[in-house]
Amino acid sequence: MTIQSTVSDIVTGNGKAKSDSPEERLRQRGEYLQQWLRLRPDLGEESAWLKAIRDRATASVKTLAVPSTRDEEWRFTDLSGLLQVRFQPSSEKPPTLGFEAIQPFILPEAASSRLVFVNGQYDPALSAVDDLPDGVIVTSLAAGATLLSNLPTYLAQQQGAEETFTALNTASLTDGALVWVEKNQAIASPIQILYVSTATQPTIDHPRTLVVAEAGSQLTLVEAYVAIYDGIYFTDPVTEIWLDANAEVNHTRIQHDSDTAFHIGKTAVSQAQDSRYTCNAVSLGAKLSRHNLEVYHTGEQTETTLNGLTIIDGEQVADTHSTIAYSHPHGSSNQIHKCIVDDRAHAVFNGKVFVPKAAQLTDAKQLSSNLLLSPKARVDTKPQLEITADNVKCTHGATVSQLDSDEVFYLQSRGIDEDSARKLLTYAFAYEVIREIPVASLREKLAAIVRTQQA
């Protein structure tokens, strides 16, 4: 019996092969994960510094399995569709793209601070990093390894490295994006990292991004995943962000993959004392997507702001799992996650905030707000606080609603037709998150996308 023939019985835990024991289903899901591992690119001799990192992750992957809906963290997100695709190895050399192919995705504000990866491979011809200020490194990980001897101190060192898809990414690592800002450097222009897929056949890519903001530095980062063609592919990205004392990072993450693609990504953030981190995460594309956003506070007086927006329709599935873990006093966080769900689409949000006894005087706010535009649209939302400290101010909440008929009627009474009134209210719901994005051209692009999707 082949893995492919039994895949529909493997992942959901509700498979047809009722005679299979739970142990057998787990073994089969583990075997399928090994099949993905065998598709990874080989390391060249010049990348020997990565071998120890990959070997550790490979050993971890061999003990893991693809999650199923029997796993609590995945019970609302069924991966059976992903496992029914027979993936192929990526081509060793991605196709050559002209600048005109990626121009619609380029931010004019990042004209001299842009990294472009095509099918997971760095494309220096499409990148622009020649006019960076002193003390700022924006390059590939392979090039960065020759400039920074302490790169292994940060790469693949974030908590949560043992999670299945994170370990798979690390075990498949050959190169990636590196942003390193030295002490007390402030970058006025944003840094754009653009991951472009040109897949026309089912392939897997493992994009990797490492960001290190040294003490007192400031930067704005835009990380985007886009597609040239409407192909079936699987993107398994991992982004690690390290903020030293008093550093500030404003991070915008855009997921706009092909509507037939799969995207399962991780963002892991470590915040030292007095650091400030903002993430604006927007999910628009992919047939099935998931973003695991994990923020670890490792010092006092840290500030975290998480703004999330998911807009899906058709039969899309979009899952956001976030974690904010405090470990010191006087920390604060403010999280708002919004979902707009139409047709038969399904959105999932699970936001965890951990406040242990050592994290006294924590101020944490969390809100999940969801708008259903269709009777068959679905959302599963679970804001979650786990608090053992006794001197904190923490709140959380969730709302699931449809458009307010009174608000629609009010706009109609002012001469706006019903369809336009509904679109206007939906746009206003989304714009509360979009307006927080610090790059003007990107705000305008996202606003246009929202208006188009509601047309």
pLDDT digits (tens, 9 = 90+) for 22-67: 777 777 788 889 999 999 888 776 677 788 899 999 999 999 999 9
End-to-end CA distance of the chain: 48
Compute CA distances 453 → 314, 373, 444, 449, whole Å: 11, 12, 14, 6
Supply the pLDDT for residue 393.
Answer: 93
Q: For residue 385, is pLDDT > 80?
A: yes
Cβ within 8 Å of residue 60, ≥6 positions away: 161, 162, 167, 171
Q: Tokens 């999940």, residue?
A: 368
As a whole number, mean pLDDT of residues 85-102 equals: 83
Instruction: Record the pTM.
Output: 0.92
Supply the pLDDT for residue 449.
Answer: 86
Comparing 170-179, 218-227, 303-312, 420-429, which segment has the lowest mean pLDDT?
Answer: 420-429
Alpha-carbon torsion angle 340, 342, 348, 350, nearest 10: 20
Average pLDDT of the chain, as a whole number = 90
Cβ within 8 Å of residue 340, ≥6 positions away: 309, 310, 311, 312, 370, 371, 373, 426, 429, 430
The residue ranges of every structural domain in the chain are 404-455
Could you report the per-residue pLDDT of 149-171, keeping only the tens digit for each? 899 899 999 999 999 999 999 99
- Determine the Cα–Cα distance for residues 131 and 264; give it in Å rounded to an integer: 33
As a whole number, mean pLDDT of residues 112-131 equals: 93
The proportion of the chain whose per-residue pLDDT surpasses 70, expressed as a percent, equals 93
Could you report the per-residue pLDDT of 265-318, keeping only the tens digit for each? 999 999 999 999 999 999 999 999 999 999 999 999 999 999 999 999 999 999
Given the DSSP bridges, would you call strands 363-372 and 393-401 parallel, antiparallel or unpaired?
A: parallel
The closest alpha carbon to 199, from 97, 288, 83, belongs to: 97
Q: For residue 442, is pLDDT > 80?
A: yes
CB 115 within 8 A of CB 194: yes
- Determine the Cα–Cα distance for residues 90 and 126; give it in Å rounded to an integer: 20
